[in-house]
Chain A
């Protein structure tokens, strides 16, 4: 530090980036969310070329780069591919969730990709890859990913 700045008190300027932003969900996610909200059903899109089944559904198959057009109902049961347990109350965690929060990467039966969601109804120390889980739907549904409340182990 040069002499002419000696003894200067470091000041802090508090600010934030707070810019509201609305995403159009698009036709593909809209259909998926409407199905969750109104029928409590998880639906998927199949690639007409490679046959890969996408959950959550995507309009375009990233491998074939063609439009996915075949909708199908998919099981609400699946297998845990991996998981994460937050022990610290990170700022990103929604206010209605208290640690430990468990997230799972879940491959639903019949799907080729896995979906991220909460895992609950199990002690964090007992979670293991390969666990069979099933979706629990939220009582109040608004057409969002949280219309699935969480996944629980299949008894």
Chain B
């Protein structure tokens, strides 16, 4: 099979409220940064994939609205919903198709402009569920309860994820919410939806991210050493919660297995050096790690307590601060990929992890992790 690589990344700072920039302004900033990073001009890009979602964008046919600012004028432009990892998946398959050499993928998000509770409520089944009034936060609280009941994990253990990730954010200049907090601070913060306290939840954020994916035939033609895509997969669980085992994520088990297989990874715990995953809520970092085979089910909290997922631990997780330190929903997965690319290049500055050769980036779509996307990236081809 042909190979493809990531040869450019651009991220805006993640902020609570980018009131000086429109979506298009943000997209331009991220794309310009990605092109400069790659040593490319817009003429070197032969197609564009954007990520948008009509309600998050506050408009219909939103996929058409940021193309110009993404450098898509006169180019083949397409749009994929999700958190950016899915759009990037499509960008990768375009590279493999033989028809495209360089694909620009963007994701933009402004939580500050919308009422996320209403948007995520409308993701529920309109006939059987929506009028009951649940949203993403209350749904994830339901998953957290199911997970805690099954595993015996305590809220204090989940809180430690928040302590770690907010502290990591101090070393990441683009993170929104660096904080030195204690488990006690998390436990005494406002109870939002039992068992999730305010500091168990990611903040409302604005940001835009862009990456450039190149087919192997052109991957070394530009400035950056390519970061190779070794393994990639996504998989989706049942839509209705009542059809799923909410305490687990079967879709993520399948996704991770397929990505490891493609990458030739037999022992992920030892072969993966760094992870950036979708920690929209504290419990998710633990559950996702377990379902990806990076900890035994119900045991990630113990490893967290032992410091294994710290910046200097055996498997640093969300060295960037993760989503708990900034959650631009529709771009969040592209940020995960870009962070791993920076780490594998050795350019992550203060939050650089030592000897990072193989990294995992993880994205999510849907309520309570209905769908997962796993990327295995590598310094070496």
> Do the two chains belong together in a single complex?
yes
* A-to-B contact residues, CB < 8 Å: 1, 5, 8, 10, 12, 15-17, 23, 25-26, 29, 54-56, 62, 81-88, 90-94, 97, 101, 103, 105, 107, 113-118, 124, 129, 144-146
Q: Are B139 and A84 in contact (CB under 8 A)?
A: yes
Q: Give every chain B residue within 8 A of A54 (Cβ-Cβ).
A: 243
Q: Are A92 and B117 in contact (CB under 8 A)?
A: yes
Interchain nearest-CB distance for B342 vs A (Å): 25
Please tell me which one of the listed residues A23, A25, A94, A103 contacts residue B142 in the complex, with CB atoms under 8 A apart: A103
Q: Are A103 and B20 in contact (CB under 8 A)?
A: no
Please tell me which one of the listed residues B60, B131, B242 contacts residue A146 in the complex, with CB atoms under 8 A apart: B131
Q: Are B146 and A88 in contact (CB under 8 A)?
A: no
Please tell me which one of the listed residues A1, A23, A97 contacts residue B127 in the complex, with CB atoms under 8 A apart: A23
Q: Are B115 and A85 in contact (CB under 8 A)?
A: no
* A115 to B129 alpha-carbon distance, docked (Å): 9
Q: Are A145 and B145 in contact (CB under 8 A)?
A: no
Q: How many A-B residue pairs have CB under 8 A?
A: 121
| Max count, chain B CB within 10 A of own CB: residue among A12, A29, A85, A146 | A85
Q: Are A103 and B138 in contact (CB under 8 A)?
A: yes
Q: Are A83 and B142 in contact (CB under 8 A)?
A: yes
Q: Give every chain B residue within 8 A of A86 (Cβ-Cβ).
A: 137-138, 141, 192-193
Q: Are B131 and A88 in contact (CB under 8 A)?
A: no
Please tell me which one of the listed residues A15, A105, A124 contacts residue B242 in the complex, with CB atoms under 8 A apart: A105
Q: Are A92 and B118 in contact (CB under 8 A)?
A: yes
Please tell me which one of the listed residues B117, B118, B134, B194 contacts residue A116 in the complex, with CB atoms under 8 A apart: B134
- Among residues of A, the one whose C-beta sits closest to the C-beta of B134 is A103
Q: Give every chain A residue within 8 A of B149 (Cβ-Cβ).
A: 82, 129
* A87 to B126 alpha-carbon distance, docked (Å): 24
Q: Give every chain A residue within 8 A of B139 (Cβ-Cβ).
A: 84
Q: Are B127 and A29 in contact (CB under 8 A)?
A: yes
Known contacts A90-B133, A103-B138, A144-B131: A83-B118 contact under CB 8 Å? no
In the complex, the 5 A-B pairs of residues with the closest C-beta atoms, listed nearest first = A114-B242, A92-B121, A82-B146, A84-B142, A85-B194
Q: Give every chain B residue within 8 A of A92 (Cβ-Cβ).
A: 117-118, 120-121, 133-135, 138
